[in-house]
Structure 1
Amino acid sequence: MSSSTTAKLLGCDYWLVVSTPHASTTAEDIGAHVDEHIGWLLSLEETGSLLMSGPLVDGPEVRAGCGMTVLRAVDAAEARALAEQDPFVRAGLRSFDLFLWRINEGSVGITASLGTGTFRWH
């Protein structure tokens, strides 16, 4: 790849949190803490620390409590401190792995219609 091609890449760094439930964690355990978990995520969104988050719903070894979160943080220590506050982690239901993720390619499209109150993410 030429330097002129790589110069066009986005090159934004984020922290990818891959969460895995412990073997003993049940769907009922997750359900008991999901409201608190969502509240925690919304608070991260309000402060600008959350780019996106959601559960993994299919794939190898996916089950209740698997998820991914993309954080904005200045360094690994800050990202880890944020991820450790996840109510699922604090309740001992899951652990996480932390990765520095550099986003270079891709596209995002959002359509919001103010007149009809509709939203589309594509």
Structure 2
Amino acid sequence: MNSMPPVTGHDTPDLSRLLGRDYWMVISTPADGTTAEDITALAPAHIAWLLGLEERHLVFLSGPLVSGPGVGPGSGITVFRASDEAEATAIASADPFVTAGLRTFVVHRWRLNEGSVSMRLSLGRGTYEWL
């Protein structure tokens, strides 16, 4: 069992250690009239597009929004590695959901400072666990 030290709020963080790496967060919103059936029909093309971007190391994180204010079929967030806003916008504009008129998007410059990623990979068993 993992034991975490209590968060006291009294520790002074070393701000020089923050990652400070910039990415481009694309927040996608369904266009008026988009249905779950529309999204399901085009999902294979959308996923193939994302996997192609992933192979080119352009996608950092991506996934649908499944609850919250204004969430509907086609809502999602993708974080791109791009040189600037114009490149991020061009990448997002090629999304099959966007080209089909099923969703719109806005691009935000996002600075990653804190967080944690853990993964366990077993070479002998050919398994992985996302923690």
TM-score range, shorter chain: over 0.9
1:19 deviates by: 0.3
Partner of 1:22: 31
Partner of 1:102: 111
- The superposition leaves residues 21-59 of structure 1 with CA deviations (integer Å, 9 ceiling, x where unpaired) of 012100011011100000000000011111111111111
Aligned structure 1 segments of 4 or more residues deviating by more than 2 angstroms: none
In structure 2, what residue type is equivalent to 1:83? A
1:117 deviates by: 2.2
In structure 2, what residue type is equivalent to 1:115? G
Task: Please point out which of 60, 71, 77 is paired with 1:62.
Answer: 71
In structure 2, what residue type is equivalent to 1:6? L
Partner of 2:4: none
Structure 2 residue matching 1:7: 3-state secondary structure: helix
Give the distance between the partners of 2:67 and 2:128, measured in 1 at CA.
25
Give the distance between the partners of 1:58 and 1:121, measured in 2 at CA.
22
**Percent of aligned positions with the same letter in both sequences?**
56
Give yes or no for the alignment of 1:112 onto 2:130. no
In structure 2, what residue type is equivalent to 1:110? M
Aligned length: 119
Structure 1 residue matching 2:40: 3-state secondary structure: helix
Partner of 2:90: 81
Give the distance between the partners of 2:50 and 2:120, measured in 1 at CA.
23
1:119 deviates by: 1.6
Task: Please point out which of 9, 19, 22 is paired with 1:13.
Answer: 22
Give the distance between the partners of 1:59 and 1:113, measured in 2 at CA.
36
Unaligned runs of 5+ in 2: 1-12
Give the distance between the partners of 2:23 and 2:130, measured in 1 at CA.
21
User: Which structure 2 residues correspond to residues 18-57 of structure 1 after superposition, within 5 A?
Assistant: 18-57=27-66
In structure 2, what residue type is equivalent to 1:72? R
Structure 1 residue matching 2:106: 3-state secondary structure: strand
